[in-house]
Structure formats: C-alpha cells, structure tokens
Structure 1
Amino acid sequence: MILCSDIAGWMESLLKPGLLSLPLLGHDWLRQTSRDPQAWARAVAAIAPVRICEPLFPSLAFQSDTAVISLGEMTVLATQGSAINVTTDHHPFAQLMLPYRGWGVFHVERQRFENPVGDSVLFLPPAPMTLENNITCGVALNMNPAILIETALTMAGPEGLPPERLNVFQRPQLLRLHDPNCGHLINGIYAQLLTLHHLCAPPGSDPSALRLDDVLVRMIVLLLVPELQRMDPLPDTPMASLAAKAKLESLVDWIETHLENPISLSELENQVHWSRRSLQYAFRDAYGCSPMQWVRRRRLHRAMQRLTNPQPGDNVASIGRSFGFPSPVAFSREFRRQYDCTPSSVFHA
C-alpha cells in the first residue's frame, strides 16, 4: 500500500529542478507557477482548452510550473508539477507530446495510449482528449496541421505523395524510440529543444533566427511519413540539365540576398520546387555540402567581411546576430571551425 507521505516524498524528489533536463522552465522570465489546478488550466488555455483539471492526489498540495513560447509556426509548452487528470475540448492544434518524467495515459478518439518516458512520444491530431499521469513533466509541440501537410508536400517535391498518406496527420500515433525509423528523429527533437532552451537566455533573446520551428516541423513530418527519410540516389539528379543548373544558381543568388534574414530548408525547397532529396543532391554535386551548410558558410563569409570592416556600434556579438548566429558561443565555434581564428581576433586586429 502506498501512503500519501510516500507519494509526497517521491513527488518532491522528482520536482527538484536539478534532476530535470526539461527545457524553458529554468528561465524565470518564462516560468509561471500555479498553486491550484484551475490556474494551471488557465496557463495552458491558449494551447489546449481544458474543461476538467483535477489533481490525482487531492490531499497533497498542488504545484505546477509552465512556460509557453511562440516559435514561428509552432508554440512550445513545457510544464512540470503535480499529477493530474485532464479533459480538453476540441482545439485547432496538432500536438507532439514528449515526456520527460513518469508516464501518461491518453484517451483520444476512443483509443488508449500509454506514453512513458524513455519509450515513446505521442502525436495527437486536433481532437478532444483525456490525460492521467503520475507526474506532469513534459513538452507539447503545438502546430496547425496544415503546416505539417504543406511541409510534407514541399519535402516530397514534384514526386508528390499519395493523397491518402496525408491522412496520417489526422490520426493519433504512438512513435517509439526503438523503431529504427523514429529513434534518431525523436532524440533529435529532444536535442533541438535543449538548443531552444539555451537560445532563450537572456530575457528578450530571439531564437527565431535559426528557424527551429521549421526544423522541428520537418522532423515531425519525417516521423509520420518515414518514406520521406529516403536519401538513396535519384536516377536523374536535378543537376543533369542546364535549366536545373540555372535554377540552382538563382537559388544561390537568393540565399546571398537573404543571409541577414532567417532561412529555412523548406523555404529553399519552395524556391526551386525540388524535393528534399533533389535539393540535397544538387548542393552536394555542386558545392560538396548540404543546403544549410552552404547557408552557414556564406553567413560566416559575410560575417568575416563585417568583422574586418565594422560599422559604427558593431561588436562581435551583434555581428554574429546579424548573420544568423544568436548565440555568441556558437558563432565563435563555427567561425573558428571555418577560419581557424576567433571573431574577436579579427574584430580587434
């Protein structure tokens, strides 16, 4: 028999921030603390309209921390706290539920899904659901399902997708870490959320320059439509024709004029109407790197020019931010990797 005192001690140990790697909640300016279930329901109302929210252990004091951040086409919700029973009404968002501690049992569209940490993540379409967990500790990625469909079609390119494959974005699906099509992507999503956490400090930082929303949306699409993960050689690559070469040169010119703006891989695919595979092969054939590696090279080249001839008010960090490096540490690391010297040494030369 489990006593309330045992549960209280167990909950207290799990809720110590030092034991958690949950993103966003470590930033005071983002974190909102709720002392009762209804306050927590109000904190997440913009993402999931909660109709019922009850503590699993009513005799214990309730506490929950929540952080919500808008990231381009996506809203990221991180929350940890007391165990709850939740029922939501219909809402417009598709969601990817990523557990960080404990387990959760979801009921949606007459189906039951267990989503324990270390085993799976759960994709949910826009639909009412109920949730019971033994601790609230996870991240929900929320997006319009139309963005998922649009991105999937962009990644597929002219080869297209059968219309019935797009139905996958309207069905709940448990995605398991041990699935060879899923594991590396799920781990990648967790890693991107850690990057997001670091980019959100100090207060007022803007992580949008890296277009992490597009990165995360694309990873979700690859989880749900695994055939898009294929990167086997195409029988006829885009570089085989003069017209394709001209199209690639035009895209490179477009990149050059937009280096100071956020650039996503989906935007590049849209510019030339090539599939994910075609664009990757075109850049590797022409430049020996991926499209986003090319973007990074050109940004570093432009940053080198600016460091050599700074404008009034420039400093190393501001120059890095101007060319898509919101983190000074990442800017210095990538710059040193390409030029074998630091941005500061060039700036102060």
Structure 2
Amino acid sequence: MGTFLPFQVHRWDHPGRDQPFVNHSGFLRLGDLTLLSTWGSGIDGEVEQKCEAQLILPYLAGVNAFTIDQQTYTTRSASFFIPATRAKIRVVNTMCSGVIISFAPDSLLPVAHAIGGPGFDPLPLRKALEQPALLSRRADPRIERLHNLLMETMAYTERCLVSGGAVNPMLRLDDLIRRLVVMLLVPDLLDAGTAAAPISEPFLHQQLVEWLLAHLDQPISLSELEQRSSYSRRALQYAFKQRFGCGPMQWLRQQRLAKARALLEQPGSSGGLAQVAQACGYLCQGSFSRDFLARYGERPSQVQRRFRDADLLERFARSDAAAGS
C-alpha cells in the first residue's frame, strides 16, 4: 500500500501482530487529482508529505490520530485537511480506512474565484490552506452535507470504474471534487451571491451561449462556465433559470441531446450511434441512450431507424417514378 500513498513512508508497522495484516486499496488519477481509497488493519507509521495537500475523508470505522509538529489531531468521523508543507506525520489508527484526496493547493484558487464571482476574497481560502484542520461534521451542518456529497462522488466514481473500466472525462468529476473541497474548507462560499439583487437587465451571456454551442463535443465544467461569465455561482444559475428555465449544466445537456437528435434525423445519415454520441459530448453510448430516452421518450436507435427508413422509402419512390416516366 505504501507504494500508492502520497507520502514518503519512513516507518510502517502493524500494531496487532497477533492478527494478520490486511489491506484493500484502490488508486486513481482523476485530472490533476489523486484519489486513494483504503480499508484494512490498523497501522502505526511515520510518513512525510511529497508536494501536495491532502484531504482525508474517513469511513466510520476506527479512530485516526495524526501528529504534525507535535500536535495530535484525533478523529473518527471528521474530515482532516493537511496543508502542502512537506510535513512529517505520525499516523496511528485502529483501522486504516477512508479516502485520501491529494491536490495542488493553487488549483483550488481559480475554482473558488469562479464560485465566488467578481467579489471573491481569496484570503479565507489561503488561510485555510496554510494549516491542518479537523473539519467537524457535527459542528456545522454544511460540512456534514459537503462531506456526504464528496463520499457520494467517490462511490459514483467507483461505479464508473466497475461498469466501464474508466471515468468518462466529459463528466468533469475532477472539477466537482475540487468545488466540494473548496466549499468544505470555506463553507461560507456556499452563500456566495446569496444577497445579490435579481438580474433585471437583458440576458448578458449570449457570447457564453454561442461558445457552448460551438463546443458541445468537449468536456466543460461548471467552474469554467463561471469563469467565462464573470458571475458568481448563484448569479449564473439565476441568469440561466431566468432565461432558459434551468441551470447552465442542465441547459448544456439539453443542447447536446438536441444536436444528437438533429444528427439522427438527417436524411441519409450513415453514422453509427457511437459516432453521434461522441459528436455531442458523450463518450459512453449507454449514458447517451439513457439521457436521450429520458429527454425524448424514445431511444436514439428508434429515431435513427425511423428517419433512415423514411429516407429509403422516399428514394425508392423517386426511383420508381423515374423508371415509370
């Protein structure tokens, strides 16, 4: 297991020597994030950070103690943040269980700026990134909710790996995880833009809409949309709901499906469903078919077959008419 840790291992002992040492771990690189899930016997070890920060999400099993600079942080359920200081850490736990997310701290700043909008103050996040912290789920219901969302995202990532062997980059799960980590470190960002006045002027994002329509086949994250719009998270959501009746990511999915339907309805279309799905930003044909069915009430194969058959009948009719004349 030490091979996959985002730490340099100096000592790694198993306290319960009367029992066999057991460990089950999984390692994944997701964009510029590293995810490590582990479950197994307790350890007593000394490690040293490499170059990234870590957020540790414990499973509700065992007690974890981390000693950094002679201060010990003990947790059973609280998330634990370790800043990127190349710290030497003593780790003692009764069960080695949880998820470790490793990331470059600077990668969170543009995400936080996108969430906060033009009035974003980076100081609270910079301070949060400088010191170890136990993020208690009991002390703040917002942290409880964010922790649960992160664990649900980890579970979804695992399901993607089990079903398809890889994580579809079009999902931009790396951006979702960064956003949740940012808000976990600075929960006040959840309220960014709450007090903003309703947008009464005409819709100001036509250039953003045109850019989206020109890039439907590419991975696009919510953070990227916020950065391009220069609006806060809540203001951008409000602007899209006011104009289109839904949020920006839901609108984007609708446009991808509309493009797919138009391609399937083209006379003489000879492309396969996988080709159509990829042209509309879907790398997984199963996800494409599921979303298409939910949107239009029929499968893409049914639409393609209906219009392909109609095109064939029309050509036969023209051929017969030409032969009769």
State the shift of 1:251 in Å: 0.4
SS in 1 for 2:73: strand
Correspondences of 1:50-69 after superposition (within 5 Å): 50-69=9-28
Matched residue count? 301
- Is the CA contact (8 Å cut-off) linking 2:64 and 2:75 kept in structure 1? yes
> Match for 1:287 among 229, 244, 250?
244
State the shift of 1:192 in Å: 1.0
SS in 2 for 1:60: coil
Residue 184 of structure 2 corresponds to residue 223 of structure 1: yes
Residue 26 of structure 2 corresponds to residue 72 of structure 1: no
Residue 129 of structure 2 corresponds to residue 129 of structure 1: no
> Match for 2:171 among 210, 216, 226?
210
Counterpart for residue 231 of structure 2: 274
Counterpart for residue 305 of structure 1: 262
State the shift of 1:232 in Å: 6.1
> Match for 2:144 among 177, 180, 183?
183
SS in 1 for 2:44: strand
Counterpart for residue 193 of structure 1: 154
RMSD: 2.4
- Is the CA contact (8 Å cut-off) linking 1:96 and 1:123 kept in structure 2? yes
What amino acid maps onto 1:270 in structure 2?
Answer: Q
State the shift of 1:165 in Å: 4.4
**Which structure has the larger Rg?**
2
SS in 1 for 2:216: coil
- Is the CA contact (8 Å cut-off) linking 1:200 and 1:207 kept in structure 2? no
How far apart are the structure 2 equivalents of 1:48 and 1:113?
A: 18
Residue 299 of structure 2 corresponds to residue 338 of structure 1: no
- Is the CA contact (8 Å cut-off) linking 1:269 and 1:279 kept in structure 2? yes
State the shift of 1:307 in Å: 3.2
Counterpart for residue 88 of structure 1: 47
SS in 1 for 2:218: coil
Residue 120 of structure 2 corresponds to residue 160 of structure 1: yes
- Is the CA contact (8 Å cut-off) linking 2:192 and 2:232 kept in structure 1? no
For each residue in 1:271-312, what CA deviation from the matched residue of structure 2 results, as whole angstroms up to 9, or x when unmatched?
A: 122222221221122112111111111111122223334965
How far apart are the structure 2 equivalents of 1:295 and 1:200?
A: 25
Change in 2 beyond 3 A, CA 1:199/1:326: farther
How far apart are the structure 2 equivalents of 1:156 and 1:223?
A: 14
Residue 257 of structure 2 corresponds to residue 257 of structure 1: no
- Is the CA contact (8 Å cut-off) linking 2:78 and 2:135 kept in structure 1? yes
- Is the CA contact (8 Å cut-off) linking 2:82 and 2:133 kept in structure 1? yes
- Is the CA contact (8 Å cut-off) linking 2:125 and 2:185 kept in structure 1? no
State the shift of 1:267 in Å: 0.6
SS in 1 for 2:175: helix
How far apart are the structure 2 equivalents of 1:77 and 1:182?
A: 21
- Is the CA contact (8 Å cut-off) linking 1:234 and 1:278 kept in structure 2? no
Change in 2 beyond 3 A, CA 1:131/1:324: farther
How far apart are the structure 1 equivalents of 2:187 and 2:305?
A: 49
Correspondences of 1:13-32 after superposition (within 5 Å): none
What amino acid maps onto 1:70 in structure 2?
Answer: R
Correspondences of 1:232-243 after superposition (within 5 Å): 233-237=194-198, 239-241=199-201
Change in 2 beyond 3 A, CA 1:112/1:306: farther
What amino acid maps onto 1:314 in structure 2?
Answer: G
Change in 2 beyond 3 A, CA 1:216/1:58: same
Tell me the TM-score normalized by structure 2.
Answer: 0.83
For each residue in 1:192-215, what CA deviation from the matched residue of structure 2 results, as whole angstroms up to 9, or x when unmatched?
A: 111111222456534221000100
How far apart are the structure 1 equivalents of 2:280 and 2:207?
A: 21
How far apart are the structure 1 equivalents of 2:263 and 2:13?
A: 56
What amino acid maps onto 2:257 in structure 1?
Answer: L
SS in 2 for 1:83: strand
How far apart are the structure 1 equivalents of 2:71 and 2:259?
A: 53
Change in 2 beyond 3 A, CA 1:114/1:305: farther
Structure 2's unaligned 5+ residue stretches are 307-325
Residue 129 of structure 2 corresponds to residue 169 of structure 1: yes
SS in 1 for 2:231: coil
How far apart are the structure 2 equivalents of 1:227 and 1:170?
A: 18
Structure 1's unaligned 5+ residue stretches are 1-39
